[in-house]
Structure 1
Amino acid sequence: MKNVLSIQSHVVFGHAGNGASVFPMQRLGVNVWPLNTVQFSNHTQYGHWAGSAIDASQMQELVEGIGAIGVLRRCDAVLSGFLSSPEQAEAVVEIVRAVKATNPHAWYFCDPVMGQTGGYNVEPGIQQYLVNTMPEVADGLAPNHNELQKLAGRKIETVEEAVQACREIIRRGPQVILVKHLLDRNSLADRFNMLVVTENEAWMGQRPLYPFARQPVGVGDLTSAVFVARRLLGDSVRAAFEHTLAAVHAVVKATFDAGRYELEIVAAQNEIAQPSEWFGAWVTDAA
C-alpha cells in the first residue's frame, strides 16, 4: 500500500486542509500520515475560530520520530498545503529531503496556498518563499489561478497563457502542474475549468459550476489529495486528472444538493472512489 505524508492545516469541525484530504486518499486506497501545520476549531472563513500554529521545529521532530522507528523509508510521497510561516515552509523542505534520503523514489507535491485566511495572521514572507523556493524543490505543484499568476509573476487570462506559464515554472524543477481552478476569459460562465501541464502534455477539463450562496472551503485541498492518490496508484497524468475532476465534482454536487456549507465528503465517499459522472479531458490548443 502506498503511503503519503500529508502536511496541512487541521480543523476540529468541518473539512479543510487535512480534514478534506486524509479521508478521500484513504477511501481511494492510499495510507495517510497526517501532520498538522495548524490546529483550529473550524476554518477561518466562519469569521470566528480558535487554535494556533504548530512550531516548525515540532514538525521536524515528529518526522524524525517516524524515522527513528524505521518507517520513513516507506513514505512514497509528501503532500503539503497551508503553511503559516516561512519557518514552516523551511521545515517542509527539510522533511522532504529527509524522506528522499531514505526513499529516493518518493516525490513531493506542493499545494502553494496563498489565498484568503479569514483573519488569521499569516506571517510575512510565506508567499515569497513559496514563489521563490518551492518550484525548485517540488516534483509537482497545484496552484489555483491566483497562485499561478504569483508563481509566474504576471497576469494570466487565457488557457494558452496558463500553459505557457506552467511550462516556464516546469523548467525550474516540477514535473507536473495541476491548476486547480483556471479563469479563462473565453470560457462559459457556468463552467469550472481545470488544467494539468507537464513538459510534453497539457490537458484541459471542465465541470459544472454551482451557484453557492457562499463557496465551500476545502475544495482545493480535496483536489490535490485525489490527484496525488490517483498518481500514486499508477494512473497516467490524464487519468488522474479526469478522476480528480469527476470525484471533486461529485463532492461539490452533493454539497450543493444538500444545501450545505461544509463539503459532503463522507456522504459522497463512494463517488470519490468510483465517480458515476465523468468529464473527459482534452488536449489544449496550446499543448
Structure 2
Amino acid sequence: MSSIKQNHVLSIQSTVVCGYVGNKCASFALQVHGFDFSPINSVQLSNHTGYKFIKGQVLDADDVDCLYEGLKQNNIHNQFSHLLTVCDPVMGDNGKLYVPEDLLPVYKDVIIPKADIVTPNQFEAELLTDMKISNEADALLAMQRLLDKGPRTVVLSSTNLGSNGKLVALACSVKKVAGSETPTPAQMELRLMQSKADIENPKINFTAQKIS
C-alpha cells in the first residue's frame, strides 16, 4: 500500500517573519483548501525586500539536505503528494547580492530549467540572463530568455521601469502582461487573512493585455 497522503504538500520556498511571502503565503492558501502543508524555508528574512532594511538567514545546500535527511530517516519523505517550489530566486535586489556569487550558476543551469514558474525581480533577471534591462523591450527579451531555459511562466516581480513612483511588474507565458501600482512597503504586504473568501471563491478581476 502506498504511504503517500493525498493533498500533502512539501513546499521549499522563502519566508518572512512579518508579512506574507513564499511559504508563509502558500501555507494559508493551501490549508484553506484542505492541504496538509510542510514547509522547508530556504530563506528566512525579517520582512520582504521592499523595506529599507532586511535581516535574515539563507539555508545552504547542506542545510536543506540535513532537513530532508531527517524526513528520510523517519520515512516521512515519501508521504507527500505534491512538491511546491515556485522559483523565486531570492538572490538580491537593488544591485546587491544576498547570497554567495557562486550560487548564480546553480540558479542558471540547475534550478531555473527545472521550474514551471520563476519570479525574479529586475536585478535577479539581469543576473540570470546576462543582460541589462533598461526598458520594456529589454524586459520582454529577458523573460523570453528565461522561458527558453524551460519554465512555462516568468514573472518579473518588480522593476524600475515605472515612473512617478509606480512599481511595474511584468509577466510572460502564452500571453505577456503588464501591471503597475504605487505602494509603500507596508502597502505591498499581502492582505492574506482578509482575502480568505477570495481564496475560497476566486473571481477574475484582472485580464491580460497582449504586448505586440
Q: Name the TM-score, length of structure 2 as normaliser.
A: 0.70
Structure 2 equivalent of residue 36 of structure 1:
41
Distance 1:52 1:160 in 2: 35
Structure 1 equivalent of residue 208 of structure 2:
281
Structure 2 equivalent of residue 162 of structure 1:
139
Structure 1 residues 153, 53: closer, same or farther in 2, change over 3 A?
closer
Runs of 4+ in 1 over 6 A off after TM superposition: none
Structure 1 residues 28, 111: closer, same or farther in 2, change over 3 A?
farther
Structure 1 segments unaligned to the other structure (5+ residues): 80-108, 217-255
Question: Aligned to 1:63, which of 62, 68, 71?
Answer: 68
Task: Indicate conservation of the 8 Å contact 2:15/2:43, yes or no.
Answer: yes
Structure 1 residues 14, 204: closer, same or farther in 2, change over 3 A?
closer
Structure 2 segments unaligned to the other structure (5+ residues): 1-5
Q: Larger strand proportion, structure 1 or 2? A: 2
Structure 2 equivalent of residue 195 of structure 1:
171
The CA RMSD measured in Å over matched residues stands at 3.7
Structure 2 equivalent of residue 91 of structure 1:
none
Q: CA deviation at 1:155?
A: 1.7
Structure 2 equivalent of residue 136 of structure 1:
113
Question: Aligned to 1:267, which of 187, 194, 197?
Answer: 194
Task: Indicate conservation of the 8 Å contact 2:157/2:170, yes or no.
Answer: yes
Q: CA deviation at 1:177?
A: 1.9
Whether 2:88 is the aligned partner of 1:125: answer no
What aligned pairs does 1:1-287 form with structure 2 within 5 A after superposition?
A: 2-28=7-33, 30-38=35-43, 42-43=46-47, 45=51, 47=53, 52-54=57-59, 56-67=61-72, 68-69=74-75, 72=78, 74-79=80-85, 109-116=86-93, 122-184=99-161, 190=166, 192-197=168-173, 201-206=174-179, 209-212=181-184, 215-216=185-186, 256=187, 263-275=190-202, 278-285=205-212
Structure 1 residues 274, 155: closer, same or farther in 2, change over 3 A?
farther
Structure 2 equivalent of residue 223 of structure 1:
none
Specify the code of the residue in structure 2 equivalent to 1:194.
L
Q: CA deviation at 1:112?
A: 0.9
Aligned residues: 203
Structure 1 residues 205, 4: closer, same or farther in 2, change over 3 A?
farther
Q: CA deviation at 1:204?
A: 0.5
Structure 1 residues 28, 195: closer, same or farther in 2, change over 3 A?
farther
Structure 1 residues 58, 190: closer, same or farther in 2, change over 3 A?
closer
Distance 1:157 1:46 in 2: 23
Q: CA deviation at 1:176?
A: 2.8
Identity among equivalent pairs (%) = 25
